[in-house]
Structure 1
Amino acid sequence: MSAPRISVLLPFYNAAATLDETLHSIRQQTFTDYELIAVDDGSSDASAEIVRIHAMQDHRIRLLQPGRQGVVGAMNSALAAARAAIVARMDADDVMAPERLARQYELLCAQPHLAAVGSQVRLFPEEQIQGGFHEYIRWQNACLSAQDIADEIYVELPIAHPSLMFRRDAVLALGGYRDGPFPEDYDLLLRLHHAGHAMAKVPAILLHWRESGGRLTRTDPRYSREAFARLRTEFLARDPRLQSGRPLAICGAGRRTRQRAQLLLDYGFQPVAWIDIDPRKIGNTVHGVPVHPLQWLAQKSKPFVLSYVTNHGAREIIAAQLQTLGYERGRDYLMVG
């Protein structure tokens, strides 16, 4: 039997309430040359039986039951079992649009330099969604091109993990998924980025991303703001632009901004200036370093700027002002979450 063109990886744990809908959405794909590897991570409910019923009706579905491994172990088990060169991720509570696999596969084939692709997503059900998550999805859905994702990768996770499709060899070369006190999905994208791989997104909503209070990302400390910040800073500190010796300026001199930036300073970085748009902070010092207005950056020897400002709308205002001063995103400044 020849290998399929796509392997869909679906780890699940006690997902009986949503798994049937998820499986139906996968089986209704317009792209049909795939295998579905469903990995039972030690469920105690009827999840495995739901998969068995679908597998009896569809020979493309394979059920693996290695026992309780945790989400990273389950994904690596599925990755090891995958027969296709292209792998698509899926979660057991989300829903694929019918053309998801087709459109993402088409993009990977059309642009061989891409190691991974995602898609825009829609959150549901509406009553479960908090305001901050709406803003995050607005930002994420605007990260489309490979340049967008590379330049914005230190803000937040730029591709929803269950929308991800990637080249299996590229991820295996990095050792697969890593387990640790950090979000494994963000870690994977950061490692792909640092390995020089390009990633992009289909500009269409191809995944319906279910929000619920019981989601692992809401309950596990590996997905806390602090865990994201530590992981982000670990990779940011190794970024060649920060290792070049170019003077560094940090935008945002408020208390919360300084706390997040301190994680980077703990790696030994020392800014030549703090930049703030609040006139009340101009002239102050932070750890002996002066606070300047944005216009201070209009000097000939431009420092590299990290903007830690995350207030709604402020990031876009600062980016526009930096560009007016001749700073180019990715080359002269980066936004940091």
Structure 2
Amino acid sequence: MPPPVVTVLLPARNAERTVARAVTSLLDGTLRDLRVLAVDDGSTDGTRGVLEALAARDARVEVLAGGGRGLVAALNLALERAASPYVARMDADDESLPRRLEASVAALEADPSLGGVGTGVELFREDQPVSPTMRDYAAWLNGLTTPERLRRERFVESPVCHPSVCLRREAVVAAGGWAHGDFPEDYELWLKLIDRGHGMYNLPEVLFRWRDSAERLTRTDPRYAHKRFIWVKARYLARSREVAGRPLTVWGTGPGGLILTRFLLAEGARVERFIDVHPRKVGTRIHGIPVDRPESLGAPPEDTHLIAAVGVRGIRDEIRASLGALGWSEGVHFTCAA
């Protein structure tokens, strides 16, 4: 039989309570030509039995043994078994809305320059309200609805909800799949795909229900610690076409800005000055780098680039407005990275 148009990679570990709903939400969708590769990654509850029952009822489901080697290994195992032109992600405790895969595949087929698309997301949890931080993050994600905007914002945070994504399989394989390491594998893959010339964006329609829980890996696994996100960010920022080879100014000397600067320097970048509004910092040196006030910035520079690394809510837009008033163009003269 020919391969389906899309293969869904679904790792599961101890997800007996939620995995049936996750798989069924895919099978009941409007795109019928799919395959679900469900990887039981060393579950000690009834997850394997639930998956095997689903496979017995629907030939589009296949169960693989992940052996408890972790998410990245499970994803790459399923990727090796996929033969379809597109591969989608799914987590064992989320829900796809009916048109998710149909709309995602249609977007990828309409634009060969795309490496992948996510979708608009709706957060939910059953035990308490969704955290305000996650609500803000989802609202930001849901606004990245063009390749240009997502590219512009890619160094602010991970710009795609991982389990909502649908990817061009050949692009992921050529990029080496999901990478092992002490860093967030999803963010690293998005930056790698964009670095390799592929576009990405999030479909404006909300097509995915994303569970917020205390057990999510972003809260429990050190690979997703804030510092590890900054390390990945610095690695690809230093080599990006906006930054590579140019002297840099970093706006922001708070903890995030200084960590980013340290990682940029380790990647061989040249940071020549800081910008900050704190009166006790202006006129001093931090790690030997002078600190100037924003008023020292003038017309757009010819050969340097500014990185805005202030993570305080609302300040990013103020910095954008200040630089825009001076004639600076985002993506040409400056990049937001917090």
**TM-score > 0.5, shorter chain as reference:** yes
Pick which of 233-242 and 86-95 moved more. 233-242
- Residues 16-35 of structure 1: matches in 2 within 5 Å? 16-35=16-35
Matched, 1:129 2:158: no
CA distance in 1, matches of 2:179, 2:131: 29
CA drift of 1:74 comes to 0.7
Q: Could you report, residue by residue, the CA deviation over 1:7-36 in whole angstroms, capped at 9, with x for unpaired residues? A: 111111111111121122112101111111
TM-score by length of structure 1 reads: 0.94
Q: 1:278 Cα deviation (Å)? A: 4.0
Deviation at 1:294, TM superposition (A): 2.3
1 CA distance for matches of 2:46 and 2:254?
Answer: 50
> In 2, Cα distance between the equivalents of 1:312 and 1:139?
12
Match of 1:207 in 2: 208
- Structure 2 alignment gaps of length 5 or more: none
Whether 2:149 is the aligned partner of 1:161: answer no
Question: Does the 8 A contact of 1:182 with 1:222 survive in 2?
Answer: yes
CA–CA distance in structure 2, aligned partners of residues 270 and 226 of structure 1: 20
Give deviations 1:264-297, integer Å, cap 9, x for gaps. Answer: 2333434332112345543333334332232322
- State the SS of the aligned residue for 2:201: strand
> Whole-Å Cα distance in 2 between the matches of residues 156 and 289 of structure 1?
26
Distance 1:2 1:275 in 2: 58
Instruction: Say whether residues 1:50 and 2:50 are aligned partners.
Output: yes
| Contact 2:300-2:326 within 8 A present in 1 as well | no
Counterpart check, 1:328 vs 2:311: no
Is 1:261–1:308's contact at 8 Å kept on the other side of the alignment? Answer: no
The Cα shift of 1:240 comes to 3.2
Kindly indicate whether the alpha-carbon contact (under 8 Å) linking 1:119 and 1:206 is maintained by their aligned counterparts in 2: yes
On the 8 A contact 1:55/1:62 being kept in 2, the answer is yes
What is the distance in 2 between the residues matched to 1:79 and 1:64? 12
Q: Which residue of 1 aligns with 2:196?
A: 195
The equivalent residue for 1:317 is 318
Alignment of 1:30-109 (within 5 A): 30-109=30-109
Q: Corresponding residue for 1:237?
A: 238
Q: C-alpha deviations, 1:22-74, integer Å up to 9, x for none?
A: 12211210111111111111111111111122222211111112422211111
Q: Secondary structure at the match of 2:291?
A: strand
1-side partners of 2:47 and 2:284: how far apart? 59
SS in 1 for 2:271: coil
Look up the match of 1:216: 217
Secondary structure of the 2:17 match is helix
Q: Which amino acid aligns with 2:138?
A: I
Q: Do 1:128 and 1:211's aligned partners in 2 also have CA atoms closer than 8 Å?
A: no
Aligned length: 336
Number of the residue aligned with 1:14 = 14
RMSD: 1.8
Task: Find the residue that maps to 2:62 and give its secondary structure.
Answer: strand
Inter-partner Cα distance in structure 2 for 1:316 and 1:165: 30
Aligned equivalents of 2:255, 2:170: Cα separation in 1: 43
In structure 2, what residue type is equivalent to 1:301?
P
Q: Give the corresponding residue for 2:229.
A: 228
Sort the Cα spacing of 1:177 and 1:268 in 2 relative to 1 into closer, same or farther, 3 A. Answer: closer
Q: Percent identity?
A: 38
